[in-house]
Amino acid sequence: MHQIAGERADWNRIREDFPILQQQVHGSPLIYFDNAATSQKPRVVLDALRHYYENDNANAHRGLHELSSRATEAYEKARRRVADYLGAGSAEEIIFTRGTTESINLVAHAWGGKFVQASDVILLTEMEHHSNLVPWQLLAARTGARLRFLPVNEDGALAHSQLDSLLTSEVKLFAFTHVSNSLGTINPVADLCRRARAVGATTLVDAAQSAGHLPVNVQELGCDFLAFSGHKMCGPTGIGALYGRAEILDSMPPWHGGGEMIVSVTLEKSAFKKPPHRFEAGTPNIGDAIGLAAAIDYIEQIGRPAIFEHDAHLTAYAMERLAALPGMRLLGPSGERGAIVGFVMDAAHPHDLTTFADQHGLAMRGGHHCNQPLMRRFGLPGTTRASFYFYNTTGEIDRMVDILRTAARFFT
């Protein structure tokens, strides 16, 4: 862990913590600008996974033996670590899932199945990732509830002036993203939650793009549910969590049934455990939960305010340099934003640009970014997206600009 205690992180030395970054791709040094899709993993996370499987691996919560005790303890310790990281009132408010998508589906089924009725409205925004849209479409189809959408302005911000007319007493749930994965917009979560509460609506925050990048405290935000993925914040794939306010989780029936989530079972019926275990059927993903806890430790050593500041520095620099390229259109807000820059260039289609960039060692994403309705709203088939994390540098951004300039010449 390369950091000067009590002072600013040594960003260049932090790169050494990430073995994957020390490689050439297609003959050029790798520039990894696809962090909104998934982040890279520091050695401490890889070591934690290896340590667990080499020393403590067993099934949690059931074996009366030493390894099972260790696995159980490490898994529940990881839950406490997540609770602490999110500022949750207790570890019982944290359910481990495969990630943001599964967390949202859990709410749509267990909470939505019980509480959402045909007369209800589910309020979403136009900037939602498909993972915070499709589960609600399916719930609406099951229940007859209506979907309603808060529009996005041309500058990439939500149309807050329309909120009062949309966030009415019919709204049962208001689900929205913290940071847009295409536009980089940071939504005012605390304010949105406060206004939802005022009309009696339950809130769900998609924190996939924020949990590893800026301070996220569920009590300060005042949300009822919050979902995130470990793999976008230095953790392994296949692990994430759902925060749910204790009294709401208590009121929810199980989603998946199976082992681990029951108190007693007869052939006819079962009694279920209290949250969070009620919502974790089957053998949990113990190893990756431990990996996620290691990722949180790593991020907290650097500090989320420092990461946010570094993100902001990189993003502002990238926006300034990209804006100077000919035929460039940048999407999203010009002020404060997440470490995501979506753009289109007159010279080339996003797929041609990303193929071209990849051949120069630069990993970006081209396409609709699981945001098809948002792309339609901006009249675009897709964009090219560069997304940063704390191990990226302004030198890499300079290199990106050179590559894009070469690409523009190549395709026109």
- Choice from 217, 381, 394, 395 touching other proteins (CB under 8 A): 381
Give Cα separations from 15 to 42, 297, 316 (angstroms). 9, 17, 21
What is the identity of the amino acid at 25? V
- As a whole number of angstroms, the distance between CA 131 and CA 112 comes to 15
Q: Which residue type occupies 202?
A: T
* Spatial distance between the Cα atoms of 42 and 49, rounded to a whole number of angstroms: 11
Per-residue binder mask for other proteins (CB under 8 A), 273-312, x = binder: ----------------------------------------
Q: Is 321 helix (H, G, I), strand (E, B) or coil?
A: helix
Does residue 352 touch other proteins according to CB under 8 A? yes
Least distance to other proteins, CB of residue 230, Å: 26
Distance CA 91, CA 261 (A): 16
Contact residue for other proteins among 350, 365, 391, 404 (CB under 8 A): 350
Residue whose C-alpha is closest to residue 386's, from 354, 347, 410: 354
Q: How far is the CB of 37 from other proteins (least distance, A)?
A: 14
- Please report whether residue 404 would count as binding other proteins according to CB under 8 A: no
142 binding other proteins? (CB under 8 A): no
Which SS3 state, helix, strand or coil, does residue 90 take?
coil
CB nearer to other proteins: pick between 303 and 373: 373
CB 355 within 8 A of CB 387: no
Least Å distance, CB 163 to other proteins, is 29
Quick one: which of 41, 310, 337, 368 contacts other proteins (CB under 8 A)?
A: 368
Q: Which of 366, 385, 388, 404 lies at the binding interface for other proteins (CB under 8 A)?
A: 366
The least CB distance from residue 27 to other proteins, in Å, is 7
Pick 123 or 403: Cβ nearer other proteins = 403
For CA atoms 181, 182, 188, 194, give the dihedral sign.
Answer: negative
Q: Which helix (H) or strand (E) holds 351?
A: helix 350-358
Q: Which of 375, 386, 397, 404 binds other proteins (CB under 8 A)?
A: 375
Tokens 């006819």 sit at which residue?
268
Please say which residue, 13 or 351, places its beta carbon nearer to other proteins. Answer: 351
Comparison of 16 and 352: residue with beta carbon closer to other proteins: 352
Binds other proteins by CB under 8 A, chosen from 80, 197, 313, 349: 349
The verdict on 411 binding other proteins (CB under 8 A) reads yes
Which helix (DSSP H) or strand (DSSP E) does residue 28 occupy?
strand 28-29
User: CB-wise, 380 or 401, nearer to other proteins?
Assistant: 380
Interface with other proteins includes 194 (CB under 8 A)?
A: no
Query: Which member of 356, 388, 389, 391 binds other proteins (CB under 8 A)?
Result: 356
The residue assigned the tokens 């204790």 is 246
Stretch that binds other proteins, among 88-96, 180-188, 269-277, 346-354 (CB under 8 A): 346-354
Determine the Cα–Cα distance for residues 9 and 42; give it in Å rounded to an integer: 15
Helix (H) or strand (E) holding 398: helix 394-411
Number of residues that bind other proteins (CB under 8 A): 22
193 is catalytic: no
- Of the candidates 18, 64, 4, 78, the residue with the CA atom closest to the CA atom of residue 390: 18
Q: What share of the chain is helix, strand, coil (3-state, %, to 5)?
A: 45, 20, 40
**Tally of residues, the chain:** 412
CA distance 360 to 354: 10
Give the interface segment with other proteins, choosing from 110-118, 162-170, 219-227, 379-387 (CB under 8 A): 379-387
351 binds other proteins (CB under 8 A): yes
C-beta of 323: minimal distance to other proteins in Å?
24
Question: From the centroid of its chain, how far is CA 325?
Answer: 30
Instruction: Tell me how far, at minimum, the Cβ of 349 lies from other proteins, in Å.
Output: 4
Q: Do the beta carbons of residue 338 and residue 331 sit within 8 Å?
A: no
Looking at 138, 367, 370, 399, which residue binds other proteins (CB under 8 A)? 367
Q: Which stretch binds other proteins (CB under 8 A): 77-85, 174-182, 226-234, 352-360?
A: 352-360
Binding residues (CB under 8 A) for other proteins: these are 26-27, 348-352, 355-356, 359-360, 366-368, 372, 375, 380-382, 410-412
Annotated catalytic sites, by residue? Answer: 370
